């Protein structure tokens, strides 16, 4: 879709009250016409109205408030501001959003003489931020509630008496994410002002086709699709989608960092995906994000820090933000997502057919795990992290823990054996659909990359466990030697009784239909 469909016929130069020539020049590098939200909000903000804006993700809200903020600051700087005289504050819920806003503001703030913008987010030392402000000043503060609150408490040098404008980006998320205490403190440091001229602006995508909903918060050019498949087939379907869209950009969202690390690692080992650029983002993301931005195609594997929804987002509202990463500024986009999760929020749905010819990726992943212990270790961590995140999901009435097919899910992850954790052992579907790999000694699986951190950590853990086991056995033997024959017999009797109690508990499970008789026989064979 041509981006002009998202624009109006109004130029930035035609807005009333007029915008300064310096800002028009800064916009001239790529922006001439306004989007609907910009036409509606910039004149109001520049007329000193208190504006609450509700519009679809990717509609141009950031540029709307940045242009307005810089214009207001320009009008207030008839005098040269002092280095530590704060004139504007922008608060957003995450460091990634704050960094994005900071980047957008730079060309506009540079048109203001002697005005310096500072980014204040977590991920770096507070003292480094304090030093930046002390040496270079801070007239515009952009950051997250926590770091801003920290800086405000530590730095009396900052003067907030002349603040002209406060921007709360994604205000609903700021409150939902538990920042109310920090927000109250941050606002208390600003000049006292009420909502003297409140205006609410609501911009919705127009109903351009039978598939568009007039009141949808999703971008108008976004086609939302869902796909129904078994848990053990999800990885194969994901690979098939990547192959089908190999000349396009895809974002695959996961619920945990461990999943990002694992799938980013293991998908790169699948021969058919070798030609596709795969970029995982978890901790340090700036360089990887730049690579993805510059590339013409590729797959970005990430969590909510950065759209194909492999895992469900923890917060329902995060979905709208996720899919807003595509179909921005009127362009076309597609997203694969969760049906009931979004149907309840009245989001338009389109069903996608499950590919019947998709290659089975599980044997490939398992072969990689048997050749490289790093694959097995990362897969196990990813699976466990997903299980624990799913169990605590905010929408537990939709994502029902007891109905999760744990065995099939583990197959989809390409695991060799089910991890021995309580959440898995106690689940009623813990082994359904899972086929463990036969006789295999994990200590015999070597790390391909001997220099990797996972390899060194795994070797250390293995050695420590062996040492601990030997030490425990030695301590037990030493203790038994110190006991009398009667005391040793008492201990042996207690161990026998404990083993019998375990077998009795297992025997009751088939009767209660917690496990099948075949599963009972397998477990008792393992014990014996």
Stretch among 15-24, 268-277, 492-501 having the lowest mean pLDDT? 492-501
Structure tokens given for 410: 């583990």
Q: Which residue shows structure tokens 């995508």?
A: 205
* β-strand pairing of 222-227 with 198-203: unpaired
Among residues 151, 178, 203, the one where a domain terminates is 203
Q: What average pLDDT score do residues 234-243 get?
A: 88
Q: Would you state the torsion angle of the CA atoms of residues 385, 284, 96, 390, taken in this order, to the nearest 10 degrees? A: 0
pTM above 0.95, yes or no: no
CA gap 358, 240 in Å, rounded: 6
8 pLDDT higher than 90: no
Q: Does the pLDDT at position 461 exceed 70? A: no
Backbone phi, psi, residue 226, to 5°: -130, 155
Q: Does the pLDDT at position 60 exceed 60?
A: yes
| Higher-confidence position of 283 and 9 | 9
Has residue 459 been placed in a domain? no
Geometric angle at alpha carbon 394, from 98 and 255, rounded to 5°: 60
Q: For residues 177 and 38, state if they share a domain.
A: yes
- pLDDT mean across residues, the chain: 78
Reduce the DSSP state of residue 406 to 3 states and report it. Answer: helix
The pLDDT of residue 378 is: 93
257 and 130 share one domain: no
- Domain hosting 245: range is 205-448
Backbone angles phi, psi at 24, to 5 degrees: -60, -40
465 class by beta-carbon count within 10 Å (0-12 exposed, 13-18 middle, 19+ buried): exposed
Examine residue 455 and state whether it is found in any structural domain, yes or no.
no
Q: Is the pLDDT of residue 37 over 60?
A: yes
| More confident call, 210 vs 159 | 159
For residue 262, pLDDT beyond 50: yes
Looking at 203, 225, 249, which one is the last position of a domain? 203
Q: For residue 329, what pLDDT is reported?
A: 41
Mean pLDDT of 395-418: 84
- How many Cβ atoms from other residues are within 10 Å of residue 388's Cβ? 14
Same domain, 359 and 220: yes
Same domain, 306 and 343: yes
Q: Do 170 and 256 have their domain in common? A: no
pLDDT score at 454: 54
> pLDDT confidence of 356, banded at 50, 70, 90?
confident
> Which residues, at least 6 apart from 336, have a Cβ–Cβ distance to it below 8 Å?
225, 226, 227, 241, 307, 308, 309, 352
Among candidates 139, 161, 167, 158, which has minimal Cα distance to 80?
Answer: 139
Tell whether 103 and 251 lie within a shared domain.
no
Domain presence at residue 456:
no
Is the model more confident about 232 or about 481?
232
Lowest mean pLDDT segment, chosen from 112-116, 308-312, 333-337, 464-468: 333-337
In a domain, 161, yes or no: yes
Which residues is 299 bridged to in the sheet? 250, 278
Overall domain count for the chain: 3
pLDDT per position as a tens digit, 141-175: 999 999 999 999 999 999 999 899 999 998 888 88
Q: Given the DSSP bridges, would you call strands 333-337 and 222-227 parallel, antiparallel or unpaired?
A: parallel
Largest CA distance in the chain: 99
Clarify whether residues 183 and 220 are in a common domain.
Answer: no
Strand-pair partners of 337: 226
Long-range contacts of the stretch 5-8 (C-beta < 8 A, 24+): 5/221, 5/330, 6/35, 6/59, 6/60, 6/220, 6/221, 6/329, 6/330, 6/331, 7/33, 7/34, 7/35, 7/330, 8/33, 8/34, 8/35, 8/36, 8/39
224 inside domain? yes
Q: Are 353 and 422 in contact (CB under 8 A)?
A: no
Q: Are residues 29 and 174 in the same domain?
A: yes
The dihedral built from the CA positions of residue 265, 267, 271 and 272, taken in this order, carries a sign that is: negative
User: d(Cα 67, Cα 39) in Å, to the nearest integer?
Assistant: 12
Residue 345 lies in a domain: yes
SS (H, E, C) 215-229: CCCCCCCEEEEEECC
Enumerate helices (H) and strands (E) in the chain, giving the number of each. Answer: 20, 13
Residue 208: per-residue pLDDT: 45
Q: For the chain, how many residues are written?
A: 528
Per the CB < 8 A criterion, the answer to whether 257 and 333 are in contact is no
Question: Which range, 151-155, 269-273, 311-315, has the best average confidence (pLDDT)?
Answer: 151-155
Q: Identify the CA nearest to 97 among candidates 306, 307, 314.
A: 306
Q: Is residue 471 part of a domain?
A: no
**453 lies in some domain:** no
294 and 262 in one domain? yes
Q: Same structural domain for residues 339 and 417?
A: yes
Of 179, 203, 227, which marks where a domain is finished?
203
Residues 515 and 442 in one domain: no
3-state secondary structure 79-137: CCCCCCECCEEEECCCHHHHHHHHHHHHHHHCCCCCCCEEEECCCCCHHHHHHHHHHHC
Distance, in Å, from the CA atom of 26 to the CA atom of 156, rounded to the nearest integer, reads 34
CATH of the domain at 238: 3.40.50.300
Residue 319 confidence (pLDDT) above 80: no
Residues 227 and 95 in one domain: no
Indicate the range of 172-181, 369-378, 444-453, 498-507 predicted with least confidence. 498-507
In terms of C-beta density within 10 A (0-12 exposed, 13-18 middle, 19 or more buried), how is residue 518 classed? exposed
């Amino acid at each position: 879709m041509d981006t002009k469909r998202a624009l109006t016929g109004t130029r930035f130069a035609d807005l009333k009250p007029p915008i300064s020539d310096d800002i028009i020049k800064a916009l001239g590098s790529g922006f001439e016409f306004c989007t609907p939200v910009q036409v509606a909000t910039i004149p109001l903000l520049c007329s000193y109205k208190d504006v609450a804006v509700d519009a679809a993700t990717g509609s141009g809200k950031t540029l709307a408030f940045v242009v307005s903020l810089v214009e207001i600051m320009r009008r207030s700087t008839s005098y040269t501001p002092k280095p530590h005289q704060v004139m504007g504050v922008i608060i957003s819920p995450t460091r990634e959003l704050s960094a994005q806003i900071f980047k957008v503001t730079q060309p506009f703030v540079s048109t203001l003489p002697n005005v310096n913008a500072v980014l204040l987010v977590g991920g770096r030392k507070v003292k480094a931020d304090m030093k930046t402000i002390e040496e270079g000043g801070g007239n515009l503060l952009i950051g997250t509630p926590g770091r801003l609150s920290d800086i405000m408490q530590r730095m009396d040098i900052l003067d907030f008496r002349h603040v002209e404008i406060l921007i709360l980006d994604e205000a609903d998320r700021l409150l939902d994410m538990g920042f109310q205490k920090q927000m109250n403190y941050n606002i208390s440091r600003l000049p006292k002002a009420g909502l003297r001229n409140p205006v609410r602006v609501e911009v919705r995508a127009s109903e351009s086709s039978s598939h568009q909903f007039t009141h949808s918060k999703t971008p108008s050019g976004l086609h939302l699709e869902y796909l129904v498949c078994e848990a053990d087939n999800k990885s194969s379907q994901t690979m098939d989608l990547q192959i089908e869209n190999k000349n396009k950009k895809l974002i695959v969202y996961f619920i945990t960092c461990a999943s990002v690390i694992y799938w980013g690692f293991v998908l790169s080992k699948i021969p058919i995906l070798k030609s596709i650029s795969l970029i995982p983002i978890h901790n340090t993301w700036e360089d990887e994000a730049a690579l993805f931005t510059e590339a013409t195609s590729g797959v970005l594997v990430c969590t909510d820090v950065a759209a194909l929804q492999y895992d469900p987002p923890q917060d329902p509202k995060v979905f709208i933000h996720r899919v807003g990463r595509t179909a921005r500024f009127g362009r076309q986009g597609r997203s694969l997502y969760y049906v009931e999760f979004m149907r309840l929020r009245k989001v338009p749905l389109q069903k996608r057919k499950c590919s019947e010819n998709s290659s089975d990726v599980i044997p490939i992943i398992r072969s990689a795990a048997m050749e490289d212990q790093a694959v097995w270790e990362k897969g196990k961590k990813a699976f466990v992290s997903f299980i624990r995140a799913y169990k605590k999901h905010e929408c537990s009435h939709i994502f029902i823990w007891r109905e999760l097919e744990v065995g099939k899910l583990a197959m989809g992850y390409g695991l060799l054996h089910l991890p021995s954790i309580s959440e898995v052992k106690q689940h009623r579907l813990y082994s359904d659909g899972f086929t463990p790999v036969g006789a295999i000694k994990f200590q015999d699986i070597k790390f391909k990359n001997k220099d990797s951190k996972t390899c060194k950590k795994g070797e250390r853990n293995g050695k420590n466990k062996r040492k601990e086991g030997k030490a425990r056995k030695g301590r037990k033997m030493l203790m038994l030697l110190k006991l009398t024959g009667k005391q040793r017999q008492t201990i042996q009797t207690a161990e026998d009784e404990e083993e019998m109690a375990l077998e009795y508990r297992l025997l009751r499970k088939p009767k209660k239909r917690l496990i099948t008789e075949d599963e009972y026989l397998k477990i008792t064979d393992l014990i014996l």
